[in-house]
Structure 1
Amino acid sequence: MNFLWPQFLWLLLAVPLLVLLYVWLLRRKKKMAIRYASLSIVRQAMGPGQTFRRHVPPLLFLLAMVAMLIGSARPLAVVTLPSNQQTIVLAIDVSGSMRAADVQPSRLEAAQAAAKSFIADLPRTVKVGIVAFAGSAQVAQLPTTNHEDLNAAIDSFQLQRGTATGNGLVMALSTLFPDAGIGIDDFAPQSTKKGVPIDQSGKEPKKEFKPVAPGSYNSAAIIMLTDGQRTTGVDPMDAAKMAADRGVRVYTVGVGTVDGETIGFEGWSMRVRLDEDTLKAVANKTQAEYFYAGTADDLKKVYNTLSSRLTVEKKETEISALFALGAAVLALLAAGLSLFWFNRIL
């Protein structure tokens, strides 16, 4: 536990002094008490539990003082709170290899079912956007809270050739920051963007961008699911750096065969292999995590895990109010017991 004002903890040194003061008052009261002819009569009248009871209210009041003094130091603790995550973009691979049936009923159908389940478990306040990528990347659904529209976009996936994981990430970032001017052109050679020299493009230069700490942007996140290696498009590590510079976490999910598999369809065949090293590197660079899903059940578990992590988060939070509440409860309990047992407050 940490404290914002640790110097106030020095006030706890007053607690032993209060104990000594209480003991001194008891002894002083004992000396000033009227001497009875028979002390046994007094003890019998008080009852066996009265001696213990007389110390309970002061003890509770002392604990209330301790709680109040600790609260004054403004303690901090790591607690689980609802996340302020507002937007999540699902970037899903729709390349031809997703028709493979090593994940039943197929990689694509398992991914669609898991994505729908993930969306259903999210709070209705969280917006979800969907990006589909293969040889290129497209926005299948802009961020929305309408789960019916999201499910319809997932059902509309069409398999295509190629795997441009970097393009999928860039499109997801563009979806999160529509006014930032993010696009594939940002990764073209500086002298020939769109085939036009920059000094002749006639466009205003972009505003200067200042990178932030990786993982520091808590209002949005990207979840990328893929089953293969990049075959075209932007280098995913360059796209990951763009995400990291904006503080966006990219959680990566690998599905399918790690060692590689040859998949055939309608007269053509292709060799696919899950590039776990790149997916792990993308996640690490953006302060996120990588997950592997070898079966449909694994994929559902991954999405369930991501749902719980993105809807709640652990934060270091000030808990002075809890100590203040505890002090108030102890003080009231001390006063109540004193009134109930002795018809006086302490």
Structure 2
Amino acid sequence: MTFEAPARLWLLAAVAALVIAYLLLQRRRSAYAVRFTNLKLLDRVAPKRPAWRRHVPAGLFVAMLALLVVGFARPQDDVRVPRERATVIVAVDVSNSMLADDVAPDRLTAAKAAAHEFVGGLPEQFNVGLVGFAGAANVVVAPVTDRPAVAAAIDRLAQGEGPQGTAIGEAIATSLDAVRNLDAQAAEDPPPARVVLLSDGANTAGRDPATASALAAQLGVPVDAISFGTADGVIGGRGASGTAVAGQRVPVDGETLQAVAQATGGGYFEAGTSEQLRDVYADIGSSVGHETRVQDVSARFIGAGLVLALLAALASMFWFARLP
């Protein structure tokens, strides 16, 4: 915490002096009371009641003064606030390996369910787009604030769309194009943007992910990369081309995704279950939907000081029938 007017904190010295003066007066009062030998008069001067009660209002009053002084010094702190304008592109791998059932019911279905929750939790004013990729990448829905449209696009994601393979570099480049093509303003002054990319394997098609990552870093667009699946992934049946793939092992490979995240300033996450994936999306959503700003927080201290002033008044009236 910092203070915009730290010199005002010197007023705390006056509060400390007030405390010292109060303690000295209490000692003097006790010494003065002992001089009386008349017990009835002594009882009227220093009546028998719990000693701590008469100090409570004074203590609350002093604490109130200290809080008001701190508030007067204009304290500032890091505060998480909702972002006002941003674009988020959700890129989802739809290659054959996403049919592996090591994550129930399969990787793609679990990824789509988690994507629904992630998009639903973003601020309404955010533009959200969806990119699907296998051996190539395409914009399924351009960035919009229309959440039902994005939800419908997520439902339309299907395995095996387009050429086979895993084109991570193409997915990043396509996501960047979607951000820059948002509107006329975005071309000149792009809004804060982020790409959230989910895949289960290494890049096997299209441009080099390192090249696409360098472009993302240049544009200031972090890529949060999620490696989804386990080492036990297996797919069966036939792929989109009709080729038999029974018993084909498709272990998750997050090395490329980790490099992408590091190169772009994003985060790298691993998820081996649907629950873990939801937690990852929730973590990303919390950071994407908010930003940290330095704000004046003097109201916290002034408000607390007013509460203590009220408590001091109530204690004094209840125990001594007077205001402090």
TM-score, scaled relative to structure 2: 0.79
Report if the CA contact (8 A) 2:101-2:234 is conserved: no
Equivalent-residue separation in structure 2 for 1:236 and 1:302 (angstroms): 22
Task: Measure the CA separation in 2 of the matches of 1:29 and 1:294.
Answer: 72
Match of 1:176 among 172, 175, 179: 179
Q: Which amino acid aligns with 2:173?
A: V
Aligned-residue sequence identity (percent) comes to: 39
The DSSP-based 3-state class of the residue aligned with 1:222 is strand
Mapping of 1:206-245 within 5 angstroms?
219-245=192-218
Q: Counterparts of 1:55 and 1:256 in 2: how far apart (Å)?
A: 64
Counterpart contact for 2:235–2:250, Cα < 8 Å: yes
Which residue is 2:227 aligned to? Answer: 254
Amino acid at match of 1:114: A
What is the CA–CA distance in structure 2 between the aligned matches of 1:259 and 1:117, rounded to whole Å? 26
Q: CA deviation at 1:250?
A: 1.4
Correspondence for 1:73: 73
Q: Take 1:29 and 1:45, find their aligned partners in 2: how far apart are those partners?
A: 9
Cα displacement (A) at 1:262? 8.1
Which amino acid counterpart does residue 164 of structure 1 have in structure 2?
Answer: A
Matched residue, 2:167: 164
319-328 or 66-75, which deviates more: 66-75
Task: Look up the SS of the partner of 2:265 in the other structure.
Answer: coil
Q: Identify if the C-alpha distance between structure 1 residues 55 and 154 changes in structure 2 by more than 3 Å, giving closer, same or farther.
A: closer
Q: Which residue of 1 aligns with 2:263?
A: 285
1:98 maps to amino acid: M
User: Following the alignment from structure 2 to structure 1, what is the Cα–Cα distance between the partners of residues 298 and 286?
Assistant: 27
Query: Does the C-alpha gap of structure 1 residues 156 and 11 become closer, same or farther in structure 2, counting only changes over 3 Å?
Result: same
In structure 2, relative to structure 1, the CA distance for the partners of 1:257 and 1:342 (3 Å cut) is: closer
Partner of 2:101: 101
Where in structure 2 are the equivalents of 1:193-208 lying within 5 Å?
none
Match for residue 267 of structure 1? 243
Gaps of 5+ in 1: 182-205, 210-216
Q: Is the 8 A contact 1:91 1:224 kept in 2?
A: yes
Paired position in structure 2 for 1:130: 130
Q: CA deviation at 1:92?
A: 1.1
Distance in 1, Cα, partners of 2:52 & 2:40: 17
* In structure 2, distance between residues paired with 1:65 and 1:251: 47
What CA deviation, in whole Å up to 9, does each residue of 1:162-197 have, x standing for no partner?
32211211221222232699xxxxxxxxxxxxxxxx
Q: Quick check: 1:331 aligned with 2:304?
A: no
- Counterpart of 2:16 in structure 1 is 16
Question: In the aligned structure 2, how far is the partner of 1:332 from the partner of 1:237?
Answer: 62
RMSD: 3.6
Q: Work out the number of aligned pairs and report it.
A: 314
* Structure 1 residue 62, shift from structure 2 partner: 0.9
Partner of 1:192: none
Counterpart-to-counterpart distance in 1, 2:168 and 2:183: 21
Residue 20 of structure 2: SS of its match in structure 1? helix
TM-score under structure 1 length normalisation = 0.75
Aligned partners of 2:88 and 2:195 also within 8 Å: yes
Compared with structure 1, are the counterparts of its residues 43 and 32 closer, same or farther at alpha carbon in structure 2 (3 Å cutoff)? closer
> What's the offset of the Cα at 1:88?
1.8
Q: Give 1:259 shift.
A: 8.3
Residues 1:243 and 1:259: Cα distance change in structure 2 (over 3 Å) = farther
Which one is further off, 85-94 or 1-10?
A: 1-10
Whether the 8 Å CA contact 2:202–2:255 is kept in 1: the answer is no
Query: 1:227 is aligned with what amino acid?
Result: D
Question: In the alignment, is the contact (CA less than 8 A) between 1:85 and 1:311 conserved in 2?
Answer: no
Q: Tell me the alpha carbon deviations over residues 29-83 of structure 1, each in whole angstroms, 9 at most, x when there is no partner.
A: 67888x7661454426864326433322222111111112222333344455445
SS in 2 for 1:234: coil
- Segments of 5+ residues of structure 2 without an aligned counterpart are none
SS class of match (1:102): coil
